[in-house]
Amino acid sequence: MIVVTNTIQVKEGFGKTLAERFTQAKGVQEMPGFVRMEVWLGKDQKGEEVKVSTVWQDEASFKNWTSSESFRQSHRGQGGNEAIVSSALNQYELFISHPLIALSVPK
């Protein structure tokens, strides 16, 4: 399993607007091997940051997404956004995962 993160630095005040673009998954959820997508909004010294994380069963599934027509359609018109300062794409392989353990509450 892999996770691919796109860390997007945006100018102050534009983070939420950019993050809201991801409320519609735009085809990624229909791709074979797609597990989930999470969008995180945060701040650092440079301004606001949007981190888009997609989890995939394997690297081939992610590569199929990036070469698909759905990918091209979902990213059409995204260039030239003056609010974006920079972005960085990173890929990680799952090494360890601890499941959530439900806690029982005494009555």
2-22: pLDDT as tens digits:
999 999 999 999 999 999 988
27: nearest Cα among 71, 57, 66 = 71
Percent of the chain with pLDDT over 90: 64
Domain ranges, ordered by start, for the chain: 2-93
Q: Using CA atoms, how far apart are residues 22 and 74, in angstroms rounded to an integer?
A: 10
DSSP 75: H
Q: What does the alpha-carbon distance between residue 8 and residue 87 come to, in Å, rounded to a whole number?
A: 4
Which CATH code is given to the segment(s) 2-93?
Answer: 3.30.70.100
Residues in CB range of 12: below 8 A, 6 or more apart: 47, 48
Q: Which residue has the higher pLDDT, 100 or 69?
A: 69
Helix (H, G, I), strand (E, B) or coil at 29: helix
Q: pLDDT tens for residues 43-62?
A: 877 789 999 999 999 999 99
pLDDT value, residue 1? 95
Check residue 78 and give its pLDDT: 61
Task: Provide φ and ψ at 87, rounded to 5°.
Answer: -150, 150
